[in-house]
Amino acid sequence: MYVYTAYNLGIHSELPLPELIPSDKPADVVIRLGKLNEPQQKRSDGGNYLLATIAEFGMVLVKDGKEIVIDPNPGIDEAIIRTFLLGVIICVLLRQRGLLVLHASSVVIDGSAVAFMADSGFGKSTLAECFHAHGYSILTDDVLAIQVGGKQPLVIPGFPQIKLWPDAVASFGHVPESLPLLNSQTVKRVHRLQDGFFQQSVPLQKIYVLAWGTHSEIVPLEAKQSFGELVRHSREMQALTAPEFLKEHFRQCMSVVQQVPIYSLRRQRSLAALPDLVKLVENELVQGNLSPVTI
């Protein structure tokens, strides 16, 4: 078994996972290969026992937030297995463990987490990379796991990797070919961080929902809008549909809305404008200004 840590968990895996940090932690999660046969397996309950077929991947069983069994399609690229495993599959496991999981990246600013939430293609990872280039530490890329229920929601650190398109890689001074491909089905590259990755849980201070605009602008969202954005950007909602999971998910979203300010962060479709976006967020955090801010 290979032993790693991610999301504050000890992960023992039959597959090598070079994206994760090697560890000697005892097993909180075990990942193994095995034969899965849908007609012969216990039926999925939409909660703590999820058996699913993913067309381009194979079959997977995620059980009790502690066990992942994968039965990949013959001949599938190992990097594609890891992409699914550390993406949609880990999201299901984290939700089974009681965490709120959002489609967002996050960085640490002054000891707190600031999250950037959006659909694919809005530049969550690229913006996180820009903050990293300005000296800030990364907490998560794409999979934001939040522990809800205490005085303040806590962001759980993921693993030290940022996924980037080739033009973004070049804009930060990297040679695209020097970074590994995410997998053989995409031109995305992965920046595996040698430093600037924060390995402790920190309070969630603010969430910015990325949107396109003609200029950089921060606009506060009302509670109803904020709740809707959290639900819309929650990961793998279609997988865990048991009533108790849905009820808990909506409770978590409402709790975050009550404790964490959520804003629309409008940005231009320009990599050159990203440093100004970093500056705008820095200024807004210092000012604590709830009225619209523009540059």
What is the CB-side half-sphere exposure of residue 63 using CA atoms within 13 A? 13
Q: Tokens standing for 72?
A: 């990949």
Q: What is the pLDDT of residue 55?
A: 84
Average pLDDT, the chain: 92
pLDDT at 287 over 90: no
pLDDT at 295 over 60: no
- C-alpha 70 chain-centroid distance: 21
pLDDT at 176 over 90: no
Burial class (CB in 10 A: 0-12, 13-18, 19+), 130: buried
Q: Tokens standing for 262?
A: 């959520």
Q: What is the pLDDT of residue 290?
A: 41
**CA nearest to 69, candidates 87, 56, 88, 50:** 50
Question: 115 vs 127, 184, 292, CA distance in Å?
Answer: 10, 29, 18
**CA nearest to 141, candidates 190, 202, 80, 184:** 190
Dump strand ranges (E) for the chain.
2-6, 9-13, 21-22, 29-33, 49-54, 58-63, 67-72, 100-109, 112-117, 137-140, 143-147, 154-156, 161-164, 189-192, 202-212, 217-220, 262-267, 293-294
Q: For residues 213 and 190, what is the distance between their CA atoms, to the nearest angstrom?
A: 27
pLDDT at 289 over 60: no
More confident residue, 295 or 165: 165
Cβ-contact 25, 12 below 8 angstroms: no
Q: What is the pLDDT of residue 21?
A: 97
Question: Longest Cα pair distance anywhere in the chain, in angstroms?
Answer: 60
Q: For residues 247 and 241, what is the distance between their CA atoms, to the nearest angstrom?
A: 10
For the stretch 30-62, pLDDT in tens is 999 999 976 656 778 889 999 998 888 999 999
Q: What is the pLDDT averaged over residues 125-132?
A: 96
Q: What is the pLDDT of residue 285?
A: 86
Q: What is the reported pTM?
A: 0.92
Q: For residues 134 and 136, what is the distance between their CA atoms, to the nearest angstrom?
A: 6
Q: Which band of pLDDT confidence, cut at 50, 70 and 90, is reported for residue 291?
A: very low
Q: What is the pLDDT averaged over residues 155-169?
A: 96
